[in-house]
């Protein structure tokens, strides 16, 4: 399909899990996809290219300005200016549930650094490239835990609330550059990390009970929202949050 034909899309945290699904999905719509992560991206890149898509991998740290600036320079040289940024990189599956009174300052700062500061830094780095295009789509990834609260998970929930705040504030700032800034609120999704962790068993059962659709949420369930926000279909939409959770939350 050619919905995103020749558009250059960067997906952070895309070497595995939901990020990899985003990258492969965008490529299936014709985008030239940059698979960005701290770890080896070759498996996802090879799968996309082997299926007839166009992808390149870049090792980059979303909390390091030099690393991000190098990413942008490399992408522009190989693919051209960036039009789509999916701020997906985050600390999630490795977090151990615990009361907030047992969270150390170091644990708090580590989650905030990646989950809240990472999208801020990545957006700053990519914006000049979007301005060369005269347009852009920034898709931030938040979480439904921010809408309902989630116990034993305070630093993660707070970090995803910060993503919502950035989305709303930056949409106001970047409209003059014809850049849309929107957000997807993701429900509990069966990524590799979640599927492998016993601590999510209770949350999975609770989510099944809340959802309109009584099943696990899979990474591919998020792709429709990604396609919409990355494409021209959403050109007059900015500062919005789309809740994708199978109908668990109705607000």
Enzyme catalytic residues: 156
180 near 138, Cβ under 8 Å? Answer: yes
Answer yes or no: are the C-beta atoms of 139 and 229 closer than 8 Å: yes
Secondary structure letter of residue 38 according to DSSP: S
User: What's the CA gap between 39 and 178, in Å, rounded?
Assistant: 33
Q: Are 213 and 247 in contact (CB under 8 A)?
A: yes
Residue 57: which region, alpha, beta or left (left: phi > 0; alpha: psi -120 to 50)? beta
Sign of CA dihedral 170, 111, 48, 68: positive
């Amino acid at each position: 399909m050619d919905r995103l034909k020749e558009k250059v899309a960067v997906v952070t945290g895309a070497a595995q899990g939901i990020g990899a699904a985003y990258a492969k999905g965008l490529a299936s719509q014709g985008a030239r996809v940059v698979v960005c992560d701290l770890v080896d991206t070759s498996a996802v890149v090879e799968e996309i290219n082997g299926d007839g898509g166009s992808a390149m991998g870049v090792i980059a740290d979303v909390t390091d300005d030099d690393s991000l600036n190098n990413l942008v320079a490399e992408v522009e040289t190989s693919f051209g200016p960036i039009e789509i940024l999916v701020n997906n990189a985050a600390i999630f599956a490795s977090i151990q549930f615990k009361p907030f009174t047992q969270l150390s300052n170091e644990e708090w700062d580590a989650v905030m650094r990646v989950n809240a500061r990472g999208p801020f830094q990545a957006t700053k780095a990519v914006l000049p490239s979007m301005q060369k295009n005269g347009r852009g789509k920034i898709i931030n990834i938040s979480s439904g835990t921010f809408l309902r609260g989630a116990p034993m998970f305070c630093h993660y929930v707070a970090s995803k609330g910060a993503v919502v705040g950035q989305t709303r504030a930056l949409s106001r700032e970047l409209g003059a550059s014809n850049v849309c800034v929107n957000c997807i609120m993701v429900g509990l999704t069966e990524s590799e990390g979640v599927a492998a962790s016993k601590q999510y068993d209770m949350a999975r059962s609770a989510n099944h009970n809340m959802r309109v659709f009584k099943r696990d949420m899979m990474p591919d369930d998020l792709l429709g929202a990604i396609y919409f926000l990355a494409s021209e279909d959403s050109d007059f939409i900015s500062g919005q949050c789309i809740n994708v959770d199978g109908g668990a939350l109705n607000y």
